[in-house]
Chains A and B, each alone.
Chain A
């Protein structure tokens, strides 16, 4: 099974900050990685697929990068609506989610 390790688990940031969340796969997944945003009591929302492809309608302040085993989600100029929990997901072989990163207000 492919394991996904996200870091940090919690991130405190201020409005306007640039934040980076990383995700590491236990083996190469090529570019088969998605990022989701989840707010309390809500379903996850797809942000990025294939490591760096921004979903239609998602602000360009979000960007994804990486391939193989190392990936990152970058949020530029953090806005109030961005405070949420973010999950990476590999879909190279079955499906595995990372443990999540909660972005909190500093």
Chain B
């Protein structure tokens, strides 16, 4: 069964940093683009970032551009989200989600991780 397993959430102070990880099992992560999507407590879904299969294309939402960096390590079947200069408004459950495409362009998401909570608070 294709699965995405996430780790790395937690409590961090405003201005701090955190790195989220997303590891694939049951399929080759490098064959797919991967996204990060977040959901603030009691709110809807917000797309955060995308990375293509070969890391040639990376996209960011305006709300995180310049603060968050997406990356991947295909031999480790993993995708990461480095989050710097965190704000209270970044508090959310963060999901990684597999794209049905590999390269540039836009695709729907067919497989999601279990989510990890990031809390930014002093």
Which residues of A pack against B, CB within 8 Å? 32, 34, 36, 38, 43-46, 49-50, 55, 87, 89, 91-100
Contact = CB atoms under 8 A, between A and B. Distances in A.
B110 A97 contact: no
Given A34-B109, A49-B100, A55-B110, A43 B95 contact: yes
A87 to B, nearest CB: 6
Interface string B35-55: 101000000111100100000
Taking chain B's interface residues, is the majority helix, strand, or loop, or is none over half, making it mixed?
Answer: strand
Contacts, number: 54
B44 A98 contact: yes
Q: Give the interface residue-count category, chain B.
A: 20 to 34
A43 B45 contact: no
Taking chain A's interface residues, is the majority helix, strand, or loop, or is none over half, making it mixed?
Answer: loop
B112 A89 contact: no
Nearest to A38: B45
